[in-house]
Amino acid sequence: ATRNDANAGRKVVPGLRLAQVRRRERQQGRLFAEFEPQRRERLVQQVAALRGVVLALVVLAISPFAAEFYEVPELTALLRVLAISMLLGGLGNVNAIAAQKELNYRPLFYLQQAVILVDFVVTVLLALWWRDVWALVIGQVVKAIVSVPLSFIFLQGRPQFGWNPRI
């Protein structure tokens, strides 16, 4: 039982396509396979932190232009404060990815519920008190501040920061 392959115009056995895809996935996965797990964690932690820094810098850079475009001068300050949450977002425990891969959802569930609860309480209380958009912004920053230490409490493993030029 063969069928025509639309991409190459040749006959392909159905199970062979799956084997080719899996082989390609294994080859792509070898990119970081030479690093032991601790070095991989460190690399992922560094990339996540760098991503947070880059996102925060981009938001800081475009905040005056966004305020001018929307004709809301207060938007510059709002976006600059929100950049703090993006910066902090890159500092969380990257072992959440390993927990997902291992189908260990319990610590992820507890982490998400704790962060959501703190975010909800802080944002609602600030909104009732200030009745301003700043309540939402400060709520997001508090959420980022709380999620970083909680990610290290709920998830096993402590990735370390450090620079290794070989990576």
Task: Record the pTM.
Answer: 0.71
* Strand pairing class (11-12; 3-4): antiparallel
Nearest to 116 by CA among 146, 88, 136: 146
CA–CA gap between residue 84 and residue 140 (Å, rounded): 9
If one counts every other C-beta atom within 10 angstroms of the C-beta of residue 80, the result is 16
Q: How many angstroms separate the first and last alpha carbons of the chain? A: 47
Question: In this prediction, what percent of the chain has a pLDDT beyond 90?
Answer: 53
Give the pLDDT confidence score for residue 6 in this predicted structure.
54
pLDDT in tens, 96-138: 888 888 888 999 999 999 999 999 999 999 999 999 999 999 9
Contact 132, 73 (CB under 8 A): no
